């Protein structure tokens, strides 16, 4: 082996020793938190919600508690207090100030990117992005326990936020800074609309954005109590925390501004949230049904012709819908059966059988209309009926 070949192999070995470490040499480092287990120190945490739900107010509340070393909403201990650095573009500095003050923050320890003319002129020429040197300069000088970016979309720069490669490169400087200065970095982001996606999937942009977060908090409005918000811990690389319920209320004697008021922590999951949404959707849909509804009139006519009727089947329901007009079927028969079934059961004791299970004794069935077994009355189905709705 000549010297040139040996030198090349030595360089490769040196490179590999820099890039790879045996697990036996990995140093155990205890996990640390600002608020356990919601906001880990030295990591990225996401705070995601639809516009107008109150994520900025919640983030300001976090800033207040960290700066004052207070438990989060008086319930979750602050394990690492200190200064807080806020980068925000959507709210005025005075809005942040009022909320932080109302939550009992230490105003001397919360720093925000100024909106003075001089600062605005500078940022106009030097837009702040996650890769901007000014971020590390500020962190190095202030040594914050927490840094907040609100909203995250504003600081990506000119990249495709749906690209895994580009978002990974954009967030890499933050990951490095969080680890280097052992500070928690909270990324406040807008969520997409729609009820079908999981709360994690609602985060706008590439799934890699959520992937880079070691913890993610999703704020939702309680469907059953819209004046209350719920923070659900939807992602954690360790233990999931209980959900946090809070309100946003006007500040006394200063009602142009708002504060965050803690209600309680509770066992409330994403599954509970989805069930609540469906429940409220059903209630709202049922509120639109009245005794004068054409489908209701048709079914009640059928009930009058069949004394003691307690259950009708899917086929008769379909005939009932067709009787009043096929336009109703655009909603979908399954949806109609659920919506009207609950209302008819509650108001008239008539249920709609949509499954394929056998009739429950002591009832008999003909044309899917169920009557008490000993009923002497002849069963008349929608198909046999001469009824024409008004």
Instruction: Name the residue ranges covered by the structural domains of the chain.
Output: 29-270, 288-372
Whole-number pLDDT of residue 327:
65
Q: What is the pTM of this model?
A: 0.74
The mean pLDDT of 367-375, rounded to a whole number, is 46
Instruction: Examine the pLDDT at 154 and tell me if it is beyond 80.
Output: yes
Provide the pLDDT confidence category of residue 288 given band limits of 50, 70 and 90: confident
Whole-number pLDDT of residue 1:
56
Provide the pLDDT confidence category of residue 96 given band limits of 50, 70 and 90: very high
More confident residue, 372 or 7: 7
Whole-number pLDDT of residue 366:
40
CATH assignment of 29-270, among 3.40.50.720, 3.30.160.110, 3.40.50.300, 3.40.720.10: 3.40.50.300
Instruction: Examine the pLDDT at 369 and tell me if it is beyond 60.
Output: no
Whole-number pLDDT of residue 363:
35
The mean pLDDT of 310-324, rounded to a whole number, is 73
Highest-confidence segment of 183-197, 204-218, 236-250: 236-250
Q: 3-class secondary structure for the chain? A: CCHHHHHHHHHHHHHHHHHCCCHHHCCCCCCCEEECCCEECCCEEEEEECCCCCHHHHHHHHHHHHHHCCCECCCECECCCCCEEEEECCCCHHHHHHHHHHCCCCCCCEEECCCCHHHHHHHHHCCCCCCCHHHHHHHHHHCCCEEEEECHHHHCCCCCCCCHHHHHHHHHHHHHHHHHHCCEEEEEEEECCCCCCCCCCCECCCHHHHHHCCEEEEEEEECCEEEEEEEEEEEECCCCCCEEEEEEEEECCEEEEEEEEEEEEECCCHHHHHHHHHHHHHHHHHHCCCCCCHHHHHHHHHHHHCCCCCEEEHHHHHHHHHHHCHHHHHHCHHHHHHHHHHHHHHHHCCEEECCCCCCCCCEEEECCEEEECCCCCCCCCCCCCCCCCC
Whole-number pLDDT of residue 364:
38
Whole-number pLDDT of residue 325:
67
- Lowest-pLDDT range of 58-72, 84-98, 277-291, 371-385: 371-385
């Amino acid at each position: 082996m000549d010297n040139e070949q040996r030198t090349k192999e030595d360089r490769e070995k040196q490179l590999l020793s820099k890039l790879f470490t045996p697990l036996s040499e990995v140093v155990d480092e205890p996990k640390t938190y600002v608020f356990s287990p919601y906001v880990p120190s030295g990591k990225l945490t996401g705070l995601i919600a639809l516009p107008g739900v109150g994520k900025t107010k919640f983030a300001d509340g976090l800033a207040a508690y960290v700066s004052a070393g207070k438990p989060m909403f008086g319930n979750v201990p602050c394990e690492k207090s200190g200064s807080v650095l806020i980068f925000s573009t959507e709210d005025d500095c005075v809005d942040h100030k009022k909320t932080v003050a109302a939550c009992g923050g230490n105003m001397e320890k919360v720093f925000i990117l100024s909106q003075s003319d001089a600062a605005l002129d500078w940022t106009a020429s030097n837009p702040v992005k996650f890769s901007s040197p000014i971020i590390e300069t500020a962190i190095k000088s202030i040594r914050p326990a927490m840094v907040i970016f609100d909203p995250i979309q504003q600081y990506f720069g000119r990249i495709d936020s749906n690209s895994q490669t580009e978002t990974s490169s954009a967030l890499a400087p933050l990951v490095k800074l969080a680890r280097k200065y052992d500070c928690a970095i909270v990324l406040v982001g807008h969520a997409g609309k729609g009820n079908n996606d999981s709360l994690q999937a609602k985060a706008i942009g590439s799934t890699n954005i959520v992937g880079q977060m070691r913890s993610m908090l999703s704020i939702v409005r309680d469907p059953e109590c819209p004046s209350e918000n719920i923070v659900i811990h939807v992602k954690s690389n360790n233990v999931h925390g209980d959900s946090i319920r809070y309100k946003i209320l006007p500040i006394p004697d200063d009602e142009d501004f708002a504060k965050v008021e803690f209600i309680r922590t509770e066992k409330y999951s994403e599954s509970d949230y989805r069930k609540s949404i469906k429940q409220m959707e059903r209630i709202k849909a049922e509120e639109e049904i009245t005794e004068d509804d054409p489908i209701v009139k048709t079914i009640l006519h059928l009930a009058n012709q069949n004394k003691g009727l307690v259950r009708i089947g899917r086929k008769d329901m379909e005939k009932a819908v067709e009787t009043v007009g096929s336009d109703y079927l655009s909603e979908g028969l399954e949806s109609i059966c659920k919506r009207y079934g609950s209302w008819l059961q509650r108001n008239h004791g008539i249920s709609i059988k949509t499954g394929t299970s056998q009739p429950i004794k002591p009832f008999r069935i003909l044309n899917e209309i169920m009557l008490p077994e000993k009923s002497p009355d002849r069963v008349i189905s929608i198909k046999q009926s001469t009824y024409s709705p008004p």
